[in-house]
């Protein structure tokens, strides 16, 4: 009975115009963040100095006229998108007498609730920058890695986290190649729909490459027991630039992030909610 009433409440909240409006706005805000990240990465790839990650994007917004207002708006929208994903997780269904169906249900729940955590975290970062904080994601990631390595079995835990992040990145690449995101959109017909799918494919692949690089860096940090080898997206871009033809690779990833940002802006309009 409690489960049924919880689902009814979640369904009522998820279908409300306010929550759906915030979710669409959250997709748009996420698009702006990714487009800014992509532009920053492109600048870094060819010699510029900046932070090529979410905190760098929020700091860039803060420098604009009335930037703190934009940051509060983005924090609200991103939090709304996080709530919508949380409700979607609650509403995931499966047949209790079917092990495969139950596994899919919990897989979807973990995915949705993971996205809830990501968007709520982004909302917190946006709000903190609006309040004047200037967080450094690389230092935060290395501090967390250092703390993990100090725990009993810490290198194993950090290595597993790195493997999970790498797997998520590979999942993004596969989804981009297979265009698996199309089922979440009510795509328009004609060239516009084709263009949106192309943006999504390029964007998912680029984001997947960046996430997989972050995951590999975490695994390296675990193997070496060296938190200095770990880092976030900004560190991953630096690692890409160090490779042969690295600046061009990083520049392509930057363009891919811009494509993903544009895709998210279209998703705000055409998402199936």
Residue 240 sits at φ, ψ, to 5 deg, of: -65, -40
- pLDDT, one tens digit per residue, over 190-237 is 999 999 999 999 999 999 999 999 889 889 888 888 887 777 788 888
- Give φ, ψ of 271 to 5 degrees: -65, 145
CA distance 256 to 262: 10
Q: How many CA atoms lie within 13 A of 150 on its CB side?
A: 6
Mean predicted confidence (pLDDT) in 14-41: 92
The predicted pLDDT at position 91 comes to 85
d(CA 178, CA 185): 15
Q: What percent of the chain has pLDDT over 70?
A: 97
The predicted structure's pLDDT at residue 66: 87
Query: Is 176:208 a contact under the CB 8 Å cutoff?
Result: yes
What is residue 142's predicted lDDT score, i.e. its pLDDT? 77
């Amino acid at each position: 009975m409690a489960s049924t009433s919880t689902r009814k409440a979640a369904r009522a909240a998820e279908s409300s115009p306010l929550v759906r409006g915030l979710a669409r706005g959250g997709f748009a805000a996420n698009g702006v963040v990714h487009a800014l990240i992509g532009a920053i990465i492109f600048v870094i790839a060819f010699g510029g100095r900046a932070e090529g990650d979410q905190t760098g994007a929020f700091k860039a917004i803060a420098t604009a006229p009335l930037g703190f207002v934009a940051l509060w708006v983005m924090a609200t929208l991103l939090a709304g998108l996080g709530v919508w994903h949380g409700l979607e997780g609650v509403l995931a269904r499966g047949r209790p007498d079917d092990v495969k169906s139950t596994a899919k249900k919990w897989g979807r729940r973990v995915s949705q609730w993971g996205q809830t955590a990501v968007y709520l975290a982004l909302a917190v970062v946006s709000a903190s920058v609006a309040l004047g904080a200037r967080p450094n994601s690389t230092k935060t990631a290395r501090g967390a890695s250092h703390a993990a390595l100090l725990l009993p079995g810490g290198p194993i835990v950090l290595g597993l986290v790195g493997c999970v992040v790498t797997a998520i990145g590979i999942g993004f690449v596969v989804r981009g190649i297979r265009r698996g995101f199309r089922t979440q959109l009510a795509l328009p017909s004609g060239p516009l729909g084709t263009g949106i799918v192309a943006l999504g494919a390029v964007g998912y692949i680029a984001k997947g490459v960046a996430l997989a690089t972050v995951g590999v860096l975490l695994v390296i940090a675990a193997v070496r027991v060296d938190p200095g080898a770990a880092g976030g997206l900004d560190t991953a871009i630096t690692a890409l630039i160090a490779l042969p033809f690295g600046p061009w690779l990083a520049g392509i990833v930057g363009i891919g992030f811009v494509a993903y940002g544009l895709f998210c802006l279209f998703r705000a309009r055409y998402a199936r909610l």
